[in-house]
Chains A and B, each alone.
Chain A
Amino acid sequence: MAEFFQETNAQFRRWMLHLKREPFTLAFTLLNPIILLIFMGGAFQGLASDSVGGDYRSYLLPGILALTVFGNSIAGGIPLLFERENGFLLRLMSAPISRGSILVSRFLAVNVSTMLQCLLMLVLGLLFGVRIATGVGGVFALLVISLLLGFGVTVISLVLAFRLENHGDFFAVMGITTLPLTFLSSAFVPLDSLPAWMRAVAAVNPMTYAVDAMRSLILTGWDAPRLLLMAIVLIAFDAAMFWLGRRALSRHLA
């Protein structure tokens, strides 16, 4: 156990050093959600205020948070795939470490960086006049929801990092999942305004439940039934991904 901690901690520290020493990458990953918040929020304010009732930026913020979480988590495995390609990972595997430590450290690093980004997005939202109905407790709850959504998605990404052939495939998978999955949820528009088939997909998209819960925390207040539904769906999603991920990787990381 002490050894597992030592290994995992060392790897986690390395990922954090990368984060610290790649400030441009960090800045660029933040740029997208910021642009969405500023421009999309501004552009659709007039159009949307009737259908969403009130400030579109407040309405949009949960959607952007969810998109940030999804994008960050699904990309989380990429460094591992690069290191699989350049031999660093193999070198690592020749050390007497638990294979789990590779996954756990990357998992932690991805989610810590997601939390930091979410926090920044929330601060930015506040600067643009978004008010959070549930206050400081709500901010904390928003981060917990982000984490619940990020968990399962990060597991998917780690599986892809070991099961895909090369990083080109990885980028392709990311490209064709991120935006459609975001639009096939309640991230940007109310579910009722979607066509029936999109609504059906959105209903089984975990992102919808995360966004709905976040939105209620920002716009209206503590909504226990909604939060409970979100928790059940996301925990089930995380558990399912964890179980599948274990199965998918047990052979690859023997």
Chain B
Amino acid sequence: MSEPVVRIENLSKAYGIVTALDGISLEVKGGKIFGLLGPNGAGKTTTVKILATLIRPDGGKAEVAGVDVLTDPAKARSLVGYISQELTVDPYLTPLEHLRYYADLYHVPAALRQLRIRDALALVGLAGLEDRRARHLSGGTKKKLDLACGLIHRPPVIILDEPSLGLDVEVRRDVWNHILRLKEEGTTIFLCTNYMDEAERLCDELAIIDHGKIAALGSPAELKGRLKREIVSVEVARGKEASGEWLATLETAAARLSMVRKAVKDGAILKLYVDNNEAALPKILEAAASLKIPLESIAYSRPGLDEVFLHFTGRAFARGGENDG
């Protein structure tokens, strides 16, 4: 349709002997939420710092709203709102003073200032707290203030580096809703995240990044679709003496079935990764019946992004964050 709003071409960056980015390329369409999903140290922050003109890459190209961030950084800065991974509020200042500060740094004309400040406060739900010193605000409120500061100049592109890092579940939801509201207003959002659920909930497009390389690109649904596997979860009858034994026996038997790729015990549940659940279900039930193992329940599900990550990078998703939501 339209020109991509963010374009990254073969970007590379090394810190000494550590390769942070190993030639990544991607494009983000206007008005979408694009997610860069990967574990700690994958290269997410390095990527967005290059987009925000804060570090220079060793090689490659990056464009924001048609402006090359390397040749015209000043122009690029005015088109981007960058909300870093760390909280960057000033404990001595009130939210109102923060917004006034950033309004001036982004050269918002005096005539528009009041309006923009009010809009930004309202968008992140900070109305009523505008005169309280930031040191007295909660972590979640500070994050929302950070977000508001990045919106004051109405940039076409917002970069969010792990916006829900360290927030509790309710505040995360709240922050997600504000991000979705921004998208409704037409802003393009580039989001780094360490959380599968966040990526699934928010992102239209995803890039899975690992060791400075893009492992897969596509919408969450596409990525899951490319992974043909489905999961059958079998639970043996609960609370019986032989429950554990049954589970182990069933695991061995199921693993021998041709359509079962992998069998994994997850507590009292046996997770079977199959190619086609419609064909697999009867076979699994048959196996259980012939072994005289009573079942409590059986269910099947499509793979989540956890499985997608495992599939495309060949390793389990190692999470570094503090909470899982």
* Chain B binds chain A: yes
- In this assembly, does B256 line the interface, its C-beta being within 8 Å of a C-beta of chain A? no
A165 to chain B, nearest CB (A): 15
Asked whether B54 lies within 8 Å of A88 as measured between CB atoms, the reply is no
Q: Encode B52-89 as 1/0 by CB contact (under 8 A) with A.
A: 11100000000000000000001101101010111110
Asked if residues B107 and A91 are in contact (CB atoms below 8 Å), the reply is: no
Q: Which residues of B contact A246 (CB under 8 A)?
A: none
- Counting chain B CB atoms within 10 Å of each CB, the highest count among A18, A21, A95 belongs to A95
Is the beta-carbon distance between A94 and B93 smaller than 8 angstroms? no
Give residues 93-111 of B contacting A (CB, 8 Å): 93, 97, 100-102, 104-107
A27 contacts across to B, CB distance below 8 A: none
Which residue on chain A has the smallest CB distance to residue B51?
A94
Q: How far, in angstroms, from A88 to B146 measured CA to CA in the complex?
A: 11
- The docked-state distance in angstroms from the alpha carbon of A3 to that of B107 is 6
Of the residues B75, B84, B97, contact of A91 by C-beta under 8 Å:
B84
Q: Taking the nearest CB of chain B, how far is it from the CB of A176, in angstroms? A: 30
The answer to whether B104 and A6 touch across the interface, beta carbons within 8 angstroms, is yes
Chain B residues contacting A14 (CB-CB under 8 Å) are 90, 93, 97, 101
Docked complex Cα distance between A96 and B102 (Å): 10
Indicate if the CB atoms of B54 and A97 lie closer than 8 Å: no
Asked if residues B54 and A94 are in contact (CB atoms below 8 Å), the reply is: yes
A87–B104 CB distance below 8 A: no
Number of interface residues of A (CB under 8 A): 23
- What residue in chain B is nearest A13 (Cβ atoms)? B101
In Å, the complex CA distance between A91 and B87 comes to 10
Give Cα distance in the complex from A9 to B110, angstroms: 13
CB < 8 Å neighbour of A22 from B49, B92, B101: B92
Smallest distance from the beta carbon of B132 to chain A beta carbons, Å? 13
A93 lies within 8 A of chain B by Cβ: yes
Contact present for B88 and A88 (CB under 8 Å): yes
Count chain B CB atoms within 10 A of each CB in A10, A18, A87 and give the residue with the most. A10
A17 within 8 A of B: yes
Identify the interface centre among B75, B92, B102: most chain A CB within 10 Å of its CB. B92
Within 8 A of B (CB), among A3-48: 3, 6-7, 9-11, 13-14, 17-18, 21-22
For chain A, what secondary structure do more than half of its interface residues adopt (helix, strand, loop), or is it mixed?
helix
Bound together, the chains give a CA A181 to CA B97 distance in angstroms of 39
Does A95 lie within 8 Å of B105, measured CB to CB? Answer: yes
Q: Are B104 and A94 neighbours in the complex by a CB distance under 8 Å? A: no
Q: Are B77 and A9 in contact (CB under 8 A)?
A: no
With A10-B101, A96-B74, A96-B107 given, is the CB distance from A87 to B92 under 8 Å? no
Complex CA distance for A90 and B82, rounded to whole angstroms:
10
A6, A7, A86, A96: most-surrounded residue (chain B CB, <10 A)? A96
Our pick among B52, B104, B133 for the contact of A10 (Cβ within 8 Å) is: B104
Minimum C-beta distance from A242 to chain B (A) = 24
- Which of B88, B100, B102 is in CB contact (< 8 Å) with A87? B88
Q: Are A21 and B105 in contact (CB under 8 A)?
A: no
Structural contact, A94 and B80, CB atoms closer than 8 A: yes
Q: Which listed residue (B54, B74, B88, B107) contacts A6, Cβ 8 A?
A: B107
Which residues of B are found within 8 Å of A97, using beta-carbon distances? 105
Interface set, chain A 93-109, CB cutoff 8 A to B: 93-97
**Contact in complex: B106, A91 (CB < 8 Å):** no
List chain A residues, Cβ under 8 A from B77.
94-96
Which 5 A-B residue pairings sit nearest by Cβ, starting from the closest? A10-B104, A87-B86, A96-B77, A91-B88, A94-B82
A10-B100, A14-B101, A94-B53 given. 9 additional CB < 8 A pairs? Answer: A6-B107, A10-B104, A11-B101, A11-B105, A88-B88, A90-B54, A94-B84, A96-B75, A96-B106
B residues with CB within 8 A of A? 49, 52-54, 74-75, 77-78, 80, 82, 84-88, 90, 92-93, 97, 100-102, 104-107, 133
19 of the cross-chain contacts (CB-CB < 8 Å) are A6-B107, A7-B104, A7-B105, A7-B107, A9-B104, A10-B105, A11-B101, A86-B86, A87-B85, A87-B87, A88-B88, A90-B49, A91-B84, A92-B105, A94-B54, A95-B77, A95-B106, A96-B75, A96-B105
